[in-house]
Amino acid sequence: MKNDIQIKNKRAYFDYHILDSYVAGIALLGTEIKAIRQGKANMTDAFCMFIGDVLYVRNLHVSEYSHSSFHHHDIKRDRVLLLHKKELKKLKIKGEEKGFTIVPLRIFTNERGFAKMEIAIAQGKKEFDKRDSIKDRESKREMDRAMKI
C-alpha cells in the first residue's frame, strides 16, 4: 500500500509547544478509513480527552465517503485511540496537570494500510510566543527568497 496520506494539524504547531509525541491507532468504521485514504479529514478543531480510562479524539471531521451507499458514518463522532496501558497512564497523568493538553498532530497510514494518529503532550503558547513564531517564519521566508535570487 502507498503511504502518501498525510493529514496534518498545522494549527497545533502554531498554538502549542510540543513536548512529547506518541503514535496511536484509531478505531474507525469502513467508510471512515476509505474517506481518510481519499484525504477527506480535517483536524483543525480536534482534541483528545479521557472518558474513564479510554482516550478519545473529538471534533475530528471525517467527510462522508463518496462511493458509499446509504450507510454513512457520523461526521464528527468520538473515535477511540488505541495505545498501550503504560502510554495511556503516562498521558492521563500528564494531561491532568495544569497547562498541559493532548493534541492530535497528524493522521497517516502505515505500510500495512492501517490509519495511525500522532498525538502529543503540548503546552499552550502565550500571545508573544505566537508573534515570535510568525516573525521567525517570515524572516526564514525572506532569507529563502534572497538565496533563490
Whole-prediction pTM value? 0.78
Q: What is the pLDDT of residue 2?
A: 56
Q: What is the pLDDT of residue 22?
A: 94
Q: What is the pLDDT of residue 91?
A: 92
Q: What is the pLDDT of residue 133?
A: 84
Judging by DSSP bridges, how do beta strands 47-51 and 115-124 pair with one another? unpaired
Residue 31, CA distances (Å) to 28, 115, 127 in order: 8, 13, 40
Q: What is the pLDDT of residue 74?
A: 67
Q: What is the pLDDT of residue 127?
A: 80
Q: Which residues in the chain come in under a pLDDT of 50?
A: none
pLDDT in tens, 39-57: 888 888 888 999 989 999 9
In sequence order, what are the residues at sequence separation of 6 or more whose Cβ sits closer than 8 angstroms to the Cβ of residue 27? 79, 80, 81, 82
